[in-house]
Amino acid sequence: MPIKRKPGGGRKPKVKLLPAQVLPIGQLLTDLTKRGWSLGAKVGMGGCGEIFLAAPSGKPITPDQASHVIKIEPHANGPLFSELAFYHRAAKAEMIKNWQLRYKEATYVGVPAYIAEGWHELNGDRWRFMVMERFGEDLEMIFTKHGRIFSLPTVCTVAISLLNSLEYLHNNEYVHADIKGANLLVGRTKSKRHEVYLVDYGLAYRYLADGKHREYQEDPRCAHDGTIEFTSRDAHKGVLRSPGIFHSQEILPYCNYYQQFHFTSTVPLYVRMYCKVLDALIK
């Protein structure tokens, strides 16, 4: 049932983001450490800019061989700037490596590590860009290929991976705020095909400030932010910057329920089984 907004309520119209122009294939971008990156073909568009294949300068940038991707948006836009703030504060490679050393039972952390960033000028326009590891398909695409249903073992595997990723984020004072199948990518190489990575941190925010939980505050302008099918009850109320880790823990079951039970008549039995599994994992 559609959510009805009160007259005059809801978020104010957002400033329309300028679309990043299609930069020529082979364009050389130089990051802040003076390392060169060759730009490949455009492969998608996210909430934080357009996405292109990429590779270190001199390396192949073909669809089969490109090792990285680059997000790029007009320098005056804000989403990619916000995402970079998260990576600087909570997702540097050394931080992720240290986390793995502390929690050896986690074979990997499903949070992409910061690689590089920079800005580029072309024809009088300035562009901000971020270099990322290249991943494989997202779970929404895989879900569709499998007739829009995953087995219970698959759902539990995804849940465990996500819980590990969320534990890392929450211990670094962040909440993702937009967990969904399209933001969950599997590893691209053969050795990482069964790893699940949580991406797109344009809505991520710190729920702690100076070690203290942010004050609970409802803001009608932020009501329903995120992905409407999966967002938490707090987000529906516009509690965008102050909810804590339970925000993510509420979104997670919605996503897993969707993946396991969409278009199936076996909901009651599997719901009970899944809830027991998830409850045990959270504890």
CATH of the domain at 187: 1.10.510.10
Instruction: Give this prediction's pTM.
Output: 0.75
10 falls within a domain: no
Domain end residue (candidates: 92, 111, 133): 133
What is the rounded distance in angstroms from the CA atom of residue 105 to the CA atom of residue 8? 50
CA 97 to chain centre: 19
Which one, of 205, 202, 185, 203, lies nearest residue 194 by Cα?
185
State the catalytic residue, choosing from 31, 138, 178, 200.
178
CA 197 to chain centre: 8
Domain end residue (candidates: 133, 163, 196): 133
What is the rounded distance in angstroms from the CA atom of residue 224 to the CA atom of residue 240? 9
Does residue 85 share a domain with residue 170? no
Angle, to 10 degrees, between the axis of helix 246-261 and the axis of helix 267-282?
150
Does residue 95 share a domain with residue 32? yes
List the domain range (segments joined by +) for residue 236. 139-282
**pLDDT one digit per residue (tens) for the chain, 283 residues:** 444 444 434 443 344 445 555 688 999 999 999 999 999 999 987 666 789 999 999 999 999 999 999 999 988 888 899 899 999 999 999 999 999 999 877 889 999 999 999 999 988 889 999 999 999 999 989 988 988 888 878 888 888 898 899 899 989 989 887 888 889 999 999 899 999 999 999 888 888 777 776 665 656 555 545 444 445 555 545 555 544 444 444 444 444 444 444 434 344 444 444 455 555 544 4
- In Å, the largest CA–CA distance within the chain is 61
1 falls within a domain: no
21 falls within a domain: no
Of all helices (H) and strands (E), which one includes residue 21? none
What is the rounded distance in angstroms from the CA atom of residue 119 to the CA atom of residue 11? 31
**CA atoms within 13 Å, Cβ hemisphere of 230:** 21
164 falls within a domain: yes
Alpha helix ranges (H) inside 32-151: 79-90, 93-102, 139-145
178 is catalytic: yes
Sequence-ordered strand ranges (E) for the chain: 28-30, 36-46, 49-56, 68-74, 116-122, 125-133, 174-175, 184-186, 196-198, 205-206, 208-209, 212-213
Domain end residue (candidates: 104, 133, 162): 133
What 8-state DSSP symbol labels residue 12? P
Does residue 272 share a domain with residue 150? yes
